[in-house]
Structure 1
């Protein structure tokens, strides 16, 4: 049951497990919790399940095919070899939660998560209090867009965007647009904007793009069958994949982008006013920039000692925090290559629930108590 909580509903809730985040990671955890006797509640800051996807750029499609973009228990409709759109996957998540009747409280943003003598207490910005024995932080790997310090060296006239704030080409003013970062999102932006703007793409580390299909089958079929999709982060192949960050090309190879008029350049080395300089000494003047250089944790609300490193990154080992009864889901390379992908969260969720049951010692609170 999905609850849309209003301002007048300030209450206190108690449950065995509090899941923070109702995206793919939180939904996968809830699926496996159904088979246990543990009570649970799921919180999400958005008005609708799937809104974190609806708020991203309009042309977004997954780079995993539909056959490898479903949560456990419910298939994703459509061509299994095709790629789901932003709204398609958002609506799928919403239907998924409704199908299983998960207890989700929407419009609930956590202000503070604290450890108590008996467990945990989460206080929302509305003043609601959630007490639990166990907390699973399932806010995922893409919380807050990273913006480099050099962004402050641009003059105000240069419009700046991130992978979170960019929606469509209409936002971008006339003139040259610089896209910093050539991961999947950066290449998507370059491909889309090449139709309407002069585009500069500042690349980063060397990347190995994969063919969409190989011998008549989706590359994801091959990655699954060869075990690469399930490569452990501490394995030799896992370490190689973390360095090269391979993903399907889908018409986004650098040479293809060049043919569409995108000027591909090495990494951005400095900024001065509206002038940008690249590692090869090339200089350009731009009117806008899109930062597509990855994401970072937003963990200020986690007020529990020993949960974060000196940079504020959440500490865990395969989703298990050094703090008793605190867990994580949906982290990049949490256990395998698939951990931050829809196709991999099911395996991680199953593993995590097994660990929780193994470590569980407190009595069960009935669902809805």
Structure 2
């Protein structure tokens, strides 16, 4: 795995991002004899996974988590944790000697096909005939504007900063966002004995982890629904919005989670919701 480069680097293909998609593309490019370079902003491949909260696990079984050429090293029907994923990605890059350059943040991309120029944070420029942007959908953190008015007495942690329940102060915890991450964290907090409140906007579709004794992804692959074209009825349904998998509202209610409508404003430690209710949390995730 290469971690060096020069100011006059010229490549046939540059892939920005060495996560799952970037590594898979790098595998095929190098197997085909192409002159490629993968640029990864983090100092290690897989670092973004390693930095997530301690209990994070995939909701896809290991048999569906492999990249081309290397099975995921776990029981096929187990759900790998975030550290297993991080280790797998780093090992994958090393095993196939992929041309990954770590600590390389791309700050500017310009030019056109045949003559792209990528500028790195240190000022270096790399030229490429083709560029693939594989940075993923979650590279830029987003925090609701109302949190700026919570006050210093309320501890705040984005999901990128949250690690485990005992690191949050005593008192009620408000989790803002009812998609997969929000629900998983809310359930973990509730099971740890915390008073948990979950604020969510639009209701998301819920899918069970298992159907008739089989994992959801077994059904999606066996029926080939997961391969449906995006313009088909099934494809439009699957891509309409990200569903919540395996963490239904009933499980959260059973654990003691209190649901609220969308959080709209805050003032000196009190959060107001769009339905008129309010809450004074000790921490907000």
TM-score, normalised by the number of residues in structure 1: 0.72
Distance 1:235 1:147, change over 3 A: farther
1:98 and 2:84 correspond: no
Distance 2:131 2:86 in 1: 24
SS at match of 1:12: coil
Query: Within 5 A, what are the aligned runs for 1:226-241?
Result: 226-241=223-238
**Cα deviations by residue, 1:123-164 (Å, 9 ceiling, x for unpaired):** 212233211111111111111122222222322322222122
What is the aligned partner in structure 1 of residue 2 from structure 2? 2
Which residue in the other structure is 1:126 paired with? 122
Cα distance, 1:154–1:233 mapped onto 2, change above 3 Å: farther
2:278 equivalent to 1:283: yes
Q: Which residue of 1 aligns with 2:107?
A: 111
Q: Which whole-Å deviations, capped at 9, do the CAs of 1:162-211 have from their partners, x for residues lacking one?
A: 12222222332222111011111101110111114211001222223222
Taking a change above 3 Å as real, the CA distance of residues 261 and 200 of structure 1, as seen in their structure-2 partners, is same
> Using a 3 Å threshold, how does the CA distance of structure 1 residues 232 and 157 change in structure 2: closer, same or farther?
farther
| Equivalent in the alignment of 2:179 | 183
Structure scoring higher RCO (CA < 8 A, sep ≥ 6) equals: 1
- Unpaired runs of 5+ residues, structure 1, are 291-369
Matched ranges for 1:200-219 at <5 A: 200-219=197-216
User: 1:247-258 counterparts in 2 under 5 A?
Assistant: 247-249=244-246, 252-258=247-253
SS in 2 for 1:141: coil
**Which consecutive unaligned segments of at least 5 residues does structure 2 have?**
none
TM-score, L = length of structure 2: 0.92
Q: What's the CA shift for 1:117? A: 9.1
Q: Which runs of 4+ in 1 moved over 4 A?
A: none
Counterpart residue number, 2:80: 84
**Number of aligned pairs?**
284
Matches within 5 A, 1:292-311: none
Q: Say if 2:70 is the partner of 1:70.
A: no
Looking at structure 2, the residues matched to 239 and 266 of structure 1 have their Cα atoms a distance apart, in angstroms, of: 27
> Are positions 1:171 and 2:167 aligned together?
yes
1:99-122 deviations in Å (ceiling 9; x for gaps): 111111111112322216951111
